[in-house]
Amino acid sequence: MFSFTGKFVPAAILGATLGFAPQASLAQEFINVLTGGTSGVYYPLGVGLSEIYAENIAGSRTQVQATKASVENLNLLAQGKGELAFALGDSVKFAWEGNAEAGFPKALTNLRAIAAIYPNYIQIVAEASAGATTLEDLRGKTLSVGAPASGTELNARAIFGAAGMSYDDLAKVEYLPYAESAELIKNRQLQATLQSSGLGVAFIKDLSATHEITLVGIPAEVVEKIGAPYIPAVIPAGTYTGQDADVPTAAVGNILVTHEDVSEETAYQMTKLMFENLDRLKASHSAAANIKPETALEGLSIPLHPGAERYYREIGLIQ
């Protein structure tokens, strides 16, 4: 049922994720963390959380599952095939509403929120020879937009729609995740890719270290046309090798999600331990620097899990 990918997992973490916790003699609590592709941000953060939970939740046995991210994660959660998942805010909203076009044939009303975490930035990367720095420049180009009906692909549709464009304006559309898209660009089989991720994502860093790239800007007026949960944002100069100027783009908040059958105590511990171990989580990926209790309740489109609510009441965020 579950896939365990150890690509980025050092031996110390591997032991934790397999559940060799100090409290293993107690009744076991299984926590499957649903993430995304191994070259994205969800995966290393999921590994970090799984290690923290394995060491601190009595009797826990944790596992990290690499997936196609938001849409798959939410469907797996609703089926009880995971206890915690990373997902984009717009995907969470579509799941709650039962938006079939977005990949949710029925409303997933058993989903519950743990916390709003860091924002995802829509990052459109092009091989320099493609000469693309604007959305208009992408016309007639080959572009990868993430897995079909993934959170990233939903972002791509929204961006193109707001810009008055569609996939028909492209020479070819590929439905591929981060790593595969980067490989095709390296091999000159693809000109650009649109991906949704935290800043400093590994696949763009690696690509920019060996290939000359450009980042395609998304104007604020296009982002504002889409509306919430999209907000105008900036990829700061120097985020990637050769990027000498700020690049305007769109950001969408990420949410940690669970489901109603996860116990109140487990959801409480998952929430509390994340915020009490943020420094450690930052070592997994720099995107964790944007995870803060103060913003944990912003932009949530589904109810909080009672366990998470208990934690926020405890620290005074909910009266």
Q: One fold for both 11-118+254-314 and 120-252? A: yes
Confidence grade of residue 23 (pLDDT, cut at 50, 70, 90): very low
Which residue is associated with the tokens 């290690």? 51
Confidence grade of residue 17 (pLDDT, cut at 50, 70, 90): very low
**Domain over 120-252 is classified CATH 3.40.50.150:** no
Contact 298, 253 (CB under 8 A): yes
Q: Tens digit of pLDDT for each residue in 116-128?
A: 999 989 999 999 9
Confidence grade of residue 27 (pLDDT, cut at 50, 70, 90): low
Contact 50, 44 (CB under 8 A): no
| pLDDT > 90 fraction of the chain, expressed in percent and rounded | 80
Report how far residue 40's alpha carbon sits from residue 46's, in angstroms, rounded to the nearest whole number: 11
CA 237 to each of CA 70, 191, 214, 279: distance values in angstroms, whole numbers, following the listed order: 28, 22, 12, 25
Q: Tens digit of pLDDT for each residue in 194-224?
A: 999 888 888 999 999 999 999 999 999 999 9
Residue 239 has pLDDT above 60, yes or no: yes
**pTM for this predicted structure:** 0.78
> What is the per-residue pLDDT for 170?
98
Report how far residue 33's alpha carbon sits from residue 83's, in angstroms, rounded to the nearest whole number: 6
List the chain domain ranges: 11-118+254-314, 120-252
> What backbone phi and psi angles, to 5 degrees, belong to 149?
60, 20
Q: Tens digit of pLDDT for each residue in 85-94?
A: 999 999 999 9
The secondary structure of 222-240 as a DSSP string is: HHHHH-TTEEEEEE-TTSS
So what's the architecture of 11-118+254-314 in CATH? 3-Layer(aba) Sandwich (3.40)
